[in-house]
């Protein structure tokens, strides 16, 4: 399996544009802590996973530090991934409760 850099850029742009066009300028997360599967256990499908606890607040701090320092490391992908999952969870949670976020929008007219 492979993914092209351009595909990553395009899907990220598509999602961020959809948020912006849906007038979602800020997301307030409804949870901080989450279960995280440790890196060593993530791909070991033959044994029960080993969990630890993650924190969206911690992930956000690390991402903000990355932006301030202009220095990225591979762990930033993991922290950003956790934040993207939390964004999806929050939007879905708000939609299920009939609150403001809802589905993003039809993205057919967006340019990549």
Ordered per-residue pLDDT tens for the chain, 112 residues:
999 999 999 999 999 888 888 878 888 998 999 999 888 888 888 999 889 999 999 999 999 999 999 998 999 999 999 999 999 898 888 777 666 554 455 545 555 5
Distant-in-sequence, close-in-space partners of 36: CB < 8 Å, separation ≥ 6: 51, 52, 53, 54, 82
Task: Check residue 93 and give its pLDDT.
Answer: 81
Q: What is the pTM of this model?
A: 0.80
Task: Check: CB of residue 10 under 8 Å from CB of residue 111.
Answer: no
């Amino acid at each position: 399996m492979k993914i092209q850099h351009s595909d990553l850029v395009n899907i990220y742009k598509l999602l961020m544009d959809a948020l912006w066009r849906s007038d979602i300028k800020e997301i307030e997360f409804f949870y901080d802590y989450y279960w995280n599967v440790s890196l060593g256990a993530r791909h070991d499908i033959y044994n029960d996973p080993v969990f630890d606890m993650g924190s969206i607040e911690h992930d956000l701090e690390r991402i903000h530090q990355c932006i301030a320092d202009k220095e990225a490391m591979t762990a930033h992908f993991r922290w950003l991934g956790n934040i993207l999952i939390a964004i999806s969870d929050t939007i879905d949670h708000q939609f299920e409760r009939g609150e403001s976020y809802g589905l993003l929008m039809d993205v057919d007219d967006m340019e990549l």
